[in-house]
Amino acid sequence: MIELGKYAGPVLAAWGVSLALLAGMVVQTLLADARARRALEQVERNRG
Amino acid sequence: MTRLSVRDLAVARGGRRVAEGIGFDLDAGQALILRGPNGIGKTTLLRTVAGLQPPVQGTVTADPDAIAYAGHADGLKSALTVAENLAFWSQVFGGPGPGAALAALDLGRLSDRPAAMLSAGQKRRLGLARLLVTGRPVWVLDEPTVSLDTASVALFAAVIRAHLGGGGSALMATHIDLALPEARVLDLGPHRAGDGGPTGPGRTRAPAGFDEAFA
Amino acid sequence: MTRLSVRDLAVARGGRRVAEGIGFDLDAGQALILRGPNGIGKTTLLRTVAGLQPPVQGTVTADPDAIAYAGHADGLKSALTVAENLAFWSQVFGGPGPGAALAALDLGRLSDRPAAMLSAGQKRRLGLARLLVTGRPVWVLDEPTVSLDTASVALFAAVIRAHLGGGGSALMATHIDLALPEARVLDLGPHRAGDGGPTGPGRTRAPAGFDEAFA
Amino acid sequence: MSIWEYANPVKFMRTSSAILPWVAAGAALCLGAGLVWGFLTPQDYKQGSTVKIMFLHVPAAMMAINIWVMMLAASLIWLIRRHHVSALAAKAAAPVGAVMTVIALLTGAIWGQPMWGTWWEWDPRLTAFLILFLFYLGYIALWSAVDNPDSAADLTGVLCLVGSVFAVLSRYAVNFWNQGLHQGASLSVKAGERVDPTYKYPLYLCMLGFFLLFVTLLLIRTRTEIRRRRTAALLAREVRG
Amino acid sequence: MIALLMRDLRLATRAGGGFGLGLAFFLIVCTLVPFGVGPEGGTLARIAPGILWVGALLACLLSLDRIFALDWEDGSLDLLATAPLPLEGAVLVKAAAHWITTGLPLVLAAPVFGVLLHLPAAAQPWLLVSLGVGTPALSMLGAFGAAITVGLRRGGLLMSLLVLPLYVPTLIFGAEAVRRGAAGADGATPLVFLSGITLAVLATMPFAAAAALRVNLR
Amino acid sequence: MIALLMRDLRLATRAGGGFGLGLAFFLIVCTLVPFGVGPEGGTLARIAPGILWVGALLACLLSLDRIFALDWEDGSLDLLATAPLPLEGAVLVKAAAHWITTGLPLVLAAPVFGVLLHLPAAAQPWLLVSLGVGTPALSMLGAFGAAITVGLRRGGLLMSLLVLPLYVPTLIFGAEAVRRGAAGADGATPLVFLSGITLAVLATMPFAAAAALRVNLR
Ligand code: HEM
Ligand SMILES: Nc1ncnc2c1ncn2[C@@H]1O[C@H](COP(=O)(O)OP(=O)(O)OP(=O)(O)O)[C@@H](O)[C@H]1O
Ligand SMILES: Nc1ncnc2c1ncn2[C@@H]1O[C@H](COP(=O)(O)OP(=O)(O)OP(=O)(O)O)[C@@H](O)[C@H]1O
Ligand SMILES: [Mg+2]
Ligand SMILES: [Mg+2]
């Protein structure tokens, strides 16, 4: 494991929070996109 | 002389075109009544003619300073009296004073009462009196007789007739009979917007907005 | 059986009595239409009957849990869809679900649209549909047909007729003809409140409030 | 072919779906490599391991500002040329920018604790950043509050324009305010010039990674918005029958 | 009752419903105060308990007019008054919906703003608990004020005038608890008073508010 | 234009028009803050310039929704838009009416509240002048926010969120001038900046606000 010294707490917290936010944003984007795609397909199918 | 001329007009509400292929002319001394089922787009058309929203397609030719619009709401300040309300609009439009308008709509007795203390029909009469103080020739009215009793409807018809007689014009949307036999009637029913529907083929359609560009 | 019974009623608006000496009975299966010029006090009377304001004089005998009131405003939430609006009121009143009401007022196609995106007449239809989901027998309606086109007025008349047929009753104020020949009509014209005026002499008058006691 | 052609939704959907995989792959590559490299850098003699926070903090702060600039450009294009995709792109970018702002604020706060002994200091730079965050919030809230999509685009466009002017104005006002009383805290650490090459290259890679990530998200989110508009349009048409 | 609560929550979270705006206002107050007062951490830390409570209170206040005014304008209130639901119950439910959409988020977010204003760490739990105990009283008192002013067009400012004096005891005990916490002392006594106020308000105010509503509907 | 100004002033001073309520709100903020912060004169004097400016700003903010929302609801705005009056002019006039009924009373009353908060006497003239120069900008920026949110039901809180960031520069320079005055220094520099902002805002914002109104009327 890489040495973080006495500042391990802040560093890990900062990285944890940031990566979580980035990942959350990516996941939200993908989910919303999938939902929008499904809704559109459904409507188009209904329209025939 | 043509006061208001509408050609091949299409109007949209909420990014969706609701009525299309509308055309008519209105000359001095003429009145035109719009009819059609709920939701066909009468309100939308009147707002477009009054210049409050842009047309999707087609043209509205009119001097914007000739049009007085009266919509569903009357634009009354409930804290001001009847006379003060009229005086304000007369100053803004630079039209005649409120005296004649009060008399024409039988509001003389109420002139010192705050607008908050009027009944639904009295408010409506005051809203119509406002048209007289604008001094403008083309009236664009959305369901002007809502809440009016029979006597007031007759009063209103007389006001319209006097306005037409004085060289004015009027464009109105209404569901009830106005006892104005001289007015032409335009039924919007056949103008409902559809996918190249009843307006006939070959018409080029500008999209009402992004939604239509896509749909 | 008498659902609603009004005796020697006087009603006041803004501390001034506007109509007096009103009396009528309404039984199951009956409808009564109030008529009268603007400002006579129809709205005031209906609010009194619905229990929203106290009478100045006289009595209103009715089960308050039997009355469904529909005023000038429709009580719609523009952010909710048509179906959600109805479902809410049906839950509050513990009445039937929205399905039948939507069908009766031809709102089925609009059921998933937010109320903000309805035209004036469509909103009104939704407001009337609310009456059906209350499941209450006595309807008190203030100008129910405002903004409705002819087809919708007929729809409304059919709804009323079905309601009466099912043992309901209706009290309505309106200026236009409803095509309900079976309904009785009460003209409020002669009941205008005056200082011992047309209601006849010898009647003891409780003042409508402080103002009148002084005036 | 003019650049405005891309504002045509159909064309946009086609083009974006073609380039999306490449951009996404690039983003994953740069970001992954940059972050790992950054995490493995040695400790700084003065800041210790906290220097590793820089690889998230600085790119996020830069992107937060750049995304606002991009939204301003997109809003102008919409207001002047009325290209719908442009307005939707501005709408799609705003939440990403807001998240970037939050990352910069949070990492900065966590960094500040060991460096300055406080989570938050009303330093001009930090303060201006907080104001930027408020602008993001207002912009997003306005988009979601207006029903008519075209009106929403117009109003948010005007807001973005006015907001940009005031964001810059606030930046200078804030500078003035904090110098007025006492010397602006011990912020000399922020001299970007003296970043050691050991940190410089992974930092550049992270910046590139953040940028590509933003482009990827922007494309996907714009596509989402376009699909939503199309769905709404079709539904409305269906209802009308 | 459940239907009403669900509807109010749904309306609040729908577009334009204003959910989260109270929070944003709170954030804004906490940002503006340093601009006005100056950036030194020491001064800020001293006034932080007071500013945080005043900010939460104002944020609560500004969203009050949503409680009844919207229902009044579109006629729903007339209809609710004639519904088979006691008006007192409706008032309580609407106050609860207001608290869930405004008070609760404020409570949860307060520690973050505490950091912004350099609130000492020791005071943070006191801030959380005192806001958690006090904000329901703010919502209920606000519902009373909203009920009194519902008929007035744009009665917002008048309502502020009526409601703010009612808020004073809550504010004093709430801020005092946090201040004692910040000083490392024990804030339990003011907290007990605060809970007492909240309970009394929740028990009595629905009746007062319903009475005011009935008068305004007349 | 004169007719519009006179009408707005008359409406504001009529019953229910809200004249003086901004002032009352200002008073309340200045009263609540000592409750929250604690009564020591030293602390109060230090934060007085900031609190006074923040209070004035919030009082201004809360009356903003009156600028256009009432006219929108009753249809007057439709009619004004079709009247022979440029919409930019109408916006300017309405902002002026708002300033006369809200900003001006605040400016005139501020010294009294300054005494309440132990503001040093040396700072009083600075307070008066800085508020006098700064509040017109607050009204005009507020009119812009009100124009953007006019179509939204109860857009009040959203408007706060949009408007407050725009208020930051005005607040900073205004409070700074008073603070320098309180410290016995010369507040002229921030005052110059403040006037610059006010002039620029008055010159440009009517156009932005009128554009937003037109969009909302559509
Ligand atoms: C909440 C606290 C903080 C915020 C909001 C913040 C915000 C920012 C911003 C806006 C930038 C400018 C990015 C750019 O323009 O390129 C930046 C850069 C930077 N920050 Fe922070 N910061 C915070 C705390 C810190 C702390 C505590 C440190 C280190 C002790 C730090 C170190 C840096 C460095 C080294 C840069 C790059 C400097 C440059 O390239 O100009 N920041 N930060
Ligand atoms: N808020 C009020 N304060 C005082 N008087 C009022 C108020 N509202 C209405 N009035 C007056 O009370 C009388 C009765 O009003 P009401 O609304 O009941 O009439 P209405 O019969 O419903 O008339 P309409 O057919 O025009 O709706 C009217 O003369 C009106 O001027
Ligand atoms: N805000 C809105 N957003 C989207 N669509 C709307 C909106 N308002 C109305 N509509 C729809 O636009 C269409 C036209 O509405 P409009 O108000 O012009 O009808 P109208 O002819 O005036 O009807 P009415 O006789 O009921 O007043 C209707 O189908 C309506 O559902
Ligand atoms: Mg209509
Ligand atoms: Mg009536």
Question: What are the boundaries of each domain within chain D?
Answer: 20-180+197-240
The DSSP element (H or E) to which C5 belongs, if any, is: strand C2-13
The DSSP element (H or E) to which B180 belongs, if any, is: none
**Residue A11: is it exposed, middle or buried by C-beta count within 10 angstroms (0-12/13-18/19+)?**
buried
Mean pLDDT score, E24-50: 81
Q: How far is Cα B126 from Cα B106, in angstroms, rounded to an integer?
A: 9
Q: Is the pLDDT of residue D1 over 50?
A: no
User: What pLDDT shows up at residue D241?
Assistant: 42
Secondary structure, 3-state, chain D:
CCHHHHHCHHHHHHHHHHHHHHHHHHHHHHHHHHHHHHHHCCCECCCEHHHHHHHHHHHHHHHHHHHHHHHHHHHHHHHHHCCHHHHHHHHHHHHHHHHHHHHHHHHHHHHHHHHHCCCCCCCHHHHHHHHHHHHHHHHHHHHHHCCCHHHHHHHHHHHHHHHHHHHHHHHHHHHHHHHHHCCCCCCHHHCHHHCCHHHHHHHHHHHHHHHHHHHHHHHHHHHHHHHHHHHHHHHHHHHHC
Whether C88 maps to a domain, the answer reads no
For residues D226 and D232, the model is more confident at D226
Using CA coordinates, name the residue in chain F closest to D141.
Answer: F158
| Binding site membership of B130 for ligand 3 (Cβ less than 6 Å) | no
**Closest-approaching ligand to the CA atom of C146:** 3
Partners of residue B15 in chain D, C-beta under 8 Å: 148-150, 233
Angle CA(C173)–CA(C179)–CA(C182) in degrees, nearest 5?
A: 80
Q: Domain count for chain C, please give it.
A: 1
User: What pLDDT shows up at residue C208?
Assistant: 52
Q: pLDDT band at residue C201, thresholds of 50, 70 and 90?
A: very low
Q: Which residue has the tokens 């001299």?
A: D191
The best mutation among B119, B146, B150, B152 to test binding of ligand 2, ranked by most ligand atoms within 8 Å of the C-beta, falls on B119
Mutate which: F201, F204, F215, F217, vs D, most D CBs within 10 A: F215
Per-residue pLDDT of chain A (48 residues; tens, 9 = 90+): 466 667 777 788 888 889 999 999 999 999 999 999 998 888 888 765
Q: pLDDT band at residue F154, thresholds of 50, 70 and 90?
A: low
Record the tokens describing residue E104, joined without a space: 């609760």
Judge contact between B45 and B9, C-beta under 8 A.
yes
Q: Which residues lie at CB < 5 A from ion ligand 4? A: B 43; C 120
Q: How far is Cα E110 from Cα E112, in angstroms, rounded to an integer?
A: 5
CB burial string E136-168: b at 16+ within 10 A, e below: bbbbbbbbbbbbbbbbbbbbbbbbbbbbbebbe
Whether B166 maps to a domain, the answer reads yes
The best mutation among B11, B13, B212 to test binding of ligand 3, ranked by most ligand atoms within 8 Å of the C-beta, falls on B13
DSSP three-state, residue E194: helix
Record the tokens describing residue D223, joined without a space: 């596509």
Crossing angle of the two packed helices A8-47 and D54-81, in degrees rounded to 10:
30
Neighbours of chain C (3+ CB pairs under 8 A): B, D, E
Average model confidence (pLDDT) across chain C: 81
Record the tokens describing residue A6, joined without a space: 């006495």
Judge contact between C174 and C144, C-beta under 8 A.
yes
DSSP three-state, residue B196: coil
Q: Is the pLDDT of residue B207 over 50?
A: no
Distances from the Cα of C141 to the Cα of B176, C183, E216, F168, angstroms: 19, 14, 21, 52
Q: Is the pLDDT of residue F206 over 90?
A: yes
Cβ contact, residue pair F217, B68, below 8 Å? no
pLDDT in tens, C164-183: 888 888 899 888 877 778 88
Q: How far is Cα E68 from Cα E164, in angstroms, rounded to an integer?
A: 18
DSSP three-state, residue F83: coil
Cβ contact, residue pair F162, D138, below 8 Å? yes
| Binding site membership of B72 for ligand 3 (Cβ less than 6 Å) | no
Q: How far is Cα D85 from Cα E119, in angstroms, rounded to an integer?
A: 45
Q: What is the DSSP letter of C185?
A: E
pLDDT in tens, C95-123: 788 888 888 888 888 888 888 788 888 88
**Residue D64: is it exposed, middle or buried by C-beta count within 10 angstroms (0-12/13-18/19+)?**
buried
Q: Whose CA is nearest to atom 16 of ligand 3?
A: B41
Q: Is the pLDDT of residue B10 over 90?
A: no
Lowest mean pLDDT among C151-160, E84-93, F63-72, F143-152: F63-72
Using CA coordinates, name the residue in chain B closest to F16.
Answer: B79
User: What pLDDT shows up at residue D194?
Assistant: 55
Crossing angle of the two packed helices F156-182 and D124-145, in degrees rounded to 10:
160
pLDDT in tens, D108-166: 888 877 777 777 777 778 888 888 998 998 999 888 888 778 888 999 999 999 999 99
pLDDT in tens, F168-187: 889 988 888 888 888 877 77
Mutate which: B63, B90, B92, B132, vs F, most F CBs within 10 A: B92
Q: From the CA of F82, how many Å to the nearest CA of chain B?
A: 7
Cβ contact, residue pair D173, F215, below 8 Å? no
Partners of residue E41 in chain D, C-beta under 8 Å: 118, 121
User: What pLDDT shows up at residue B92?
Assistant: 83
Percent of chain D with pLDDT over 90: 32
Chains F and D are touching, with contact defined as 3 or more CB–CB pairs separated by less than 8 Å: yes
Average model confidence (pLDDT) across chain B: 80
Q: How far is Cα E212 from Cα E205, in angstroms, rounded to an integer?
A: 11
Neighbours of chain A (3+ CB pairs under 8 A): D
Domain coverage including residue B142: 2-76+136-191
Q: Is the pLDDT of residue B204 over 50?
A: no
Cβ contact, residue pair A21, D43, below 8 Å? no
User: What pLDDT shows up at residue B194?
Assistant: 63
Give the ipTM of the model, two decimals please. 0.81
Cβ contact, residue pair D223, A14, below 8 Å? no
Domain coverage including residue E11: 2-217
User: What pLDDT shows up at residue E154?
Assistant: 58
Nearest Cα residue to C116 out of C86, C145, C77, C146: C77
Q: Domain count for chain E, please give it.
A: 1
pLDDT in tens, D176-203: 776 543 333 444 444 444 566 777 788 8
User: What pLDDT shows up at residue F32?
Assistant: 81
Chains E and A are touching, with contact defined as 3 or more CB–CB pairs separated by less than 8 Å: no
- Tell how strand C16-27 and strand C2-13 pair up: antiparallel
The verdict on A27 touching D (C-beta cutoff 8 Å) is no
User: What pLDDT shows up at residue F198?
Assistant: 93
CB burial string B38-71: b at 16+ within 10 A, e below: bbbbbbbbbbbbbbbbebbbbebebeeeebbbbb
Judge contact between E176 and E132, C-beta under 8 A.
no
Record the tokens describing residue D82, joined without a space: 């009325």
Q: Which residue has the tokens 């079976």?
A: C182
Q: pLDDT band at residue C15, thresholds of 50, 70 and 90?
A: confident
Q: pLDDT band at residue D240, thresholds of 50, 70 and 90?
A: low
Mean pLDDT score, E3-31: 75
Q: What's the CATH code of the domain at B170?
A: 3.40.50.300
Q: How far is Cα B76 from Cα B79, in angstroms, rounded to an integer?
A: 9
Please give all residues whose beta carbon lies within 6 A of any atom in ligand 1, as ranges.
Answer: D 54, 57-58, 61-62, 65, 104-105, 108-109, 111-112, 115, 125-126, 129, 189-190, 192
**Closest-approaching ligand to the CA atom of D186:** 1
Q: For residue C140, list its beta bridge partners.
A: C69, C171
Going from the Cα of F143 to the center of ligand 4, the distance in angstroms, rounded, reads 30
Lowest mean pLDDT among B128-142, B150-164, E23-37: E23-37
Q: pLDDT band at residue B121, thresholds of 50, 70 and 90?
A: confident
Non-local (6+) Cβ contacts of B116 within 8 A are: B78, B79
| Binding site membership of B38 for ligand 3 (Cβ less than 6 Å) | yes
User: What pLDDT shows up at residue B57?
Assistant: 83
| Binding site membership of B18 for ligand 3 (Cβ less than 6 Å) | yes
For residues C211 and E174, the model is more confident at E174
Mutate which: E26, E33, E35, vs D, most D CBs within 10 A: E35
Using CA coordinates, name the residue in chain C closest to B125.
Answer: C38
Nearest to D230 among B194, B195, B215 (CB): B215
Q: How far is Cα B139 from Cα B30, in angstroms, rounded to an integer?
A: 11
Q: How many CB atoms lie within 10 A of CB D40?
A: 10
Chains B and D are touching, with contact defined as 3 or more CB–CB pairs separated by less than 8 Å: yes
pLDDT in tens, D78-104: 888 888 888 999 999 999 999 999 999
**Residue A37: is it exposed, middle or buried by C-beta count within 10 angstroms (0-12/13-18/19+)?**
middle
User: What pLDDT shows up at residue C200?
Assistant: 40
Nearest Cα residue to F178 out of F201, F170, F165, F198: F170
User: What pLDDT shows up at residue C198?
Assistant: 40
Cβ contact, residue pair B15, D149, below 8 Å? yes
The verdict on C119 touching D (C-beta cutoff 8 Å) is no
Q: From the CA of F148, how many Å to the nearest CA of chain B?
A: 17
Q: How many CB atoms lie within 10 A of CB A23?
A: 10
Record the tokens describing residue F211, joined without a space: 């554009």
Q: From the CA of D155, how many Å to the nearest CA of chain F?
A: 6
Q: Answer left, alpha or beta for residue C155, where phi above 0 means left and psi between -120 and 50 means alpha.
A: alpha
User: What pLDDT shows up at residue B184?
Assistant: 85
Record the tokens describing residue E81, joined without a space: 């008054």
Judge contact between D206 and D55, C-beta under 8 A.
yes
Q: Is the pLDDT of residue E62 over 60?
A: yes
pLDDT in tens, B39-81: 888 889 999 998 888 888 888 888 878 888 888 878 888 778 8
**Residue C182: is it exposed, middle or buried by C-beta count within 10 angstroms (0-12/13-18/19+)?**
exposed
Which pTM does this prediction carry?
A: 0.84
Percent of chain F with pLDDT over 70: 94
Q: pLDDT band at residue B201, thresholds of 50, 70 and 90?
A: very low
Mean pLDDT score, F127-150: 92
Q: From the CA of E139, how many Å to the nearest CA of chain F?
A: 17
Q: pLDDT band at residue D215, thresholds of 50, 70 and 90?
A: very high
User: What pLDDT shows up at residue F164?
Assistant: 86
Percent of chain E with pLDDT over 90: 17
Record the tokens describing residue F147, joined without a space: 């124009």
Non-local (6+) Cβ contacts of F129 within 8 A are: F177, F191
Judge contact between F82 and B52, C-beta under 8 A.
yes
